[in-house]
Every structure is written in structure tokens, then in C-alpha cells.
A and B are shown apart, each in its own frame.
Chain A
Amino acid sequence: MSTSPRPKSYVRIDRSGNSLVVAPLFTFASFTEADLVAEWKAVNDQLEGAEIKNVIVDLGEIPYFGSTVLEWMVQMWRRAKAKGGNLATCNCSEVGREILHAARFDTLWNEFASRDEALSSMSANE
């Protein structure tokens, strides 16, 4: 898996095959829109790469998240779908799963216990 380290980031981005693994490191409430947009641009640039089809959102670094992260996931899911791929989540906390369920997003994409399981499933569905 290759990693794109950036000096100061609120999201960690890794690549594995044709999957992009995006791990939010904070819950985003406190950051300015410029910060958020910089993060989104970094993810977007990688998503636009020809070989990337799938997105895995690794939620293991944050105990919960809110509407901003949900909206972000929807945008990434739409881009992945447009490229013939899919989105999955992994390492979700108990409260995180409740949030996905409350928003009914758990019916839109699969949730895996680990990043490896998510990557295996994405590979198997190729």
C-alpha cells in the first residue's frame, strides 16, 4: 500500500491497487472551510486518477462524525459509482455505526471490521 503523507493533514490517504483508502483523523467541526476544501482537493485529485475505482473510508481514527463527513462520503460514493466502482467503510466505532444507520447510509454501502477485509471484498468484486 502506498501512502501520501502530507505535512499537516486532517485526512490520511492511502492507495491499494485500484482502491483509495481515506481515513478522517478528526471530526471536522473545528476546521475552516478552506481547510476542508484543501482536504477534499487532495482526495479529489487522487480519486480522479485513472486507476482508482473504489473508495474505502477508514473511520477507525474518529469516535464519531457528523453531517459534514456524511456529506463527504456521499460525494466520494457518487464519484466512485461514476467510475464503475463502489464505496465501503471500515473500522467504524459503535457510535459511528449508529450514525450510519440513523442516516440509513448502512443500506448504501458495506461496512467491514477492518481495512484488510474491505480491500479483500473490493478485490473480490472486480
Chain B
Amino acid sequence: MPRILVVDDSAVDRRFVGGLLAREGRYQVEFAEDGSQALAQMRQSAPPDLIVTDLQMPNRNGLELVAAVRMHHAEVPVILMTGHGSEALAVEALQRGATGYVPKPQLGERLVEAVDEALAMSRADRTYDRLISCLARCSFAFEIDSDPSLIDPLVDLVQQMVAGMKLTDATGRFRVGAALKEALLNAVYRGNLEISFQEMQAARVSLLEGKEENLFLRRRSEPPYSDRKIFVDVTIDAHEAHFVVRDQGPGFNPASLPTAGQPGSLDPQTGRGLILMRAFMDEISFNDRGNVVTLIKRREAA
């Protein structure tokens, strides 16, 4: 029987929603009073099959709950209950990964239908997950602009694949994601856009002071920076994931970077991104020019 967690700070609304679901006789209904309590319950026991949550609550509201569930329990669908005047927040929640929403005045007519649809979609996703777990080898290549907004989707895809193919567990996929993200950020900013750490700091201060100059946008729109691409090759099999990230910048001297085991420092010039890459990958190496980094993550012991 699917477990449904109803999150609402109003005891009256919790009883009403719980009653709507319980009378179907097909769900096991649980309750939490706000987003924080919901997350605490999910830490203590297995996550539910679906969450139905109010949008406006003290502590963590529905929007923040959606964000946290998306991060920690991405497989759990979330349906929002929205009151009058919260449509804009509902749209933002959908952008953050909520499955759908039902206006509170229409709960009686639409909630059960929305729950059943979301559970059916979730079951289909799990079937897809089973299929991915049977994948023996995959290889894909991206050629992307120097656009930071493409980094998270690419990293998300890789995280899904390494976890789906059982190369890492759910936590291990975040280690891979953290390291790969640093490699991609480095390729965009230091590599293709040639923005040094000092220039980045100065540009942020400039933006903070409301000045019009935006180094990041300017570099992304003017040659030669705007013509450059980032090439990402990914190969994953049962034993390891192999990533090659190549930018078209002038490169740098890899020997100038701190070696493994050197302590981190408050001085960002020591390359915190590199420290994270080394911490979470089994191997990393640069080509002589310094514009290609190869990262290898081996299968984690069960």
C-alpha cells in the first residue's frame, strides 16, 4: 500500500486531507506539521511514496520542502496544496521539481486523481530505473557553449547514470557530481572565458556596486571567447566512469597547482576546485597544455 505523507501546519486541514485519502482505503497516510518535521521523519525512516504538502507553513514552507526533497529524495513526487493568491509560488515550486498542485478549494474533487497520476508516473520512473541498472556500458559526448546554466543538467544526467548503473550509491553520486561540476566550472570560467580568480572577484564587486559592466556577459558575447566550446566525453561501464573535459582556452601550467595532500588554504589561488576533484575522483590528470582534464571514478565497494 503506497505511503503518503501529508504536510500541513493546520490540524484541521491535515485531518481533512488525511480523511480524503484514507477513505479510499488504498493508501497508508502519515502526517507532519511542517517541512522541517517532514524532512526529519524522512531521515528517521524510509521516505514515503508521495508527499502532499501545504505551500505556506512556518519553519520550512512547501517551496523549501520541494527543494530539499528534490535534492535528497528525488524519486518522491510532491503535490502542493495551494491557497488563493499563491499561484506564483506554485509555479516556482513546479520549476523546482514539484509534480503538480491542487487548489485547496478543489481538494475534494481533484486530490485523489492527482495522487493516483503521480504514483503511476513514479512507478514508471522506477521501471526506467530498473532498466538503467541493466545497462552494461554507455558513452556520450557533449559539445556545449560556455554557458554555466548547462552545467547542472549535465551533472544531473551523469549522477543519474552512475547511480543507476550502480557504480556508486546514492551518496557517491554527489561526490562524482561535485568533482565533475568543478571541472566544468573551471573549463567555462578559467578556460574558455579566461577569467582569473582576481578578475572574477573584481567583477562581482563591480556588479555588487550596481555598475553596468558585466565581465561575464561581455566575455561570453565577444570573440574569441564566444566562439569557444567545451567538449565533454563520458564513458561509464560496470567498473568505472571516465570523464574527459576539454576547453578551448589557452590552458595553464598544471605543475603550478598544489599536489595531492597539500593542505587547503584560505587563499583560493591554491585551487579549491582541484582539491575537490582530487578528493572525490580516483584519478585526475591534465594534458601538458592544461586545457584537458581527465577524471576517473572507479566502482565503489558495496
Task: List A residues at the B interface (Cβ < 8 Å).
Answer: 7-8, 12, 25-27, 29-34, 36-37, 40-41, 44, 60-68, 70-71, 74, 93-95, 98-99, 102-105, 108
Task: List B residues at the A interface (Cβ < 8 Å).
Answer: 39, 64, 67-68, 71-72, 88, 92, 148-153, 155, 171, 174-175, 177-178, 181-182, 184-185, 203-204, 207-208, 214, 216-217, 263-266, 268, 272-273, 275-276, 278-280
12 CB-based A-B contacts, threshold 8 Å: A26-B67, A30-B148, A30-B153, A32-B216, A40-B208, A66-B273, A68-B185, A74-B268, A93-B72, A95-B175, A98-B280, A103-B264
| Min CB gap B38→A, angstroms | 13
Which residue in chain B gives the minimum CB-CB distance to A36? B204
CA distance A68 to B276 in the complex (A): 12
In the complex, the answer to whether B148 meets A32 with C-beta atoms within 8 Å is yes
Which 6 A-B residue pairs are closest in the complex by CB-CB distance? Answer: A102-B279, A104-B264, A103-B264, A30-B152, A37-B207, A67-B272
In the complex, the answer to whether B151 meets A29 with C-beta atoms within 8 Å is yes
Q: What is the interface of chain B mostly: helix, strand, loop, or mixed?
A: helix
| Min CB gap A40→B, angstroms | 7
Known contacts: A27-B152, A29-B155. The answer to whether A66 contacts B276 by CB under 8 A is yes
Note all chain A residues with C-beta closer than 8 A to B273. Answer: 66-67
CA distance A94 to B263 in the complex (A): 20
CA distance A7 to B76 in the complex (A): 25
In the complex, the answer to whether A29 meets B71 with C-beta atoms within 8 Å is no
In the complex, the answer to whether A33 meets B204 with C-beta atoms within 8 Å is yes
In the complex, the answer to whether B71 meets A62 with C-beta atoms within 8 Å is yes
Note all chain B residues with C-beta closer than 8 A to A63. Answer: 71-72, 174
Note all chain B residues with C-beta closer than 8 A to A74. Answer: 266, 268
Which residue in chain B gives the minimum CB-CB distance to A65? B178
In the complex, the answer to whether A29 meets B268 with C-beta atoms within 8 Å is no
Note all chain A residues with C-beta closer than 8 A to B92. Answer: 8
Note all chain A residues with C-beta closer than 8 A to B68. Answer: 60-61
Which residue in chain A gives the minimum CB-CB distance to B204? A37
Note all chain B residues with C-beta closer than 8 A to A70. Answer: 272
Which residue in chain B gives the minimum CB-CB distance to A8? B92
Which residue in chain A gives the minimum CB-CB distance to B185? A29
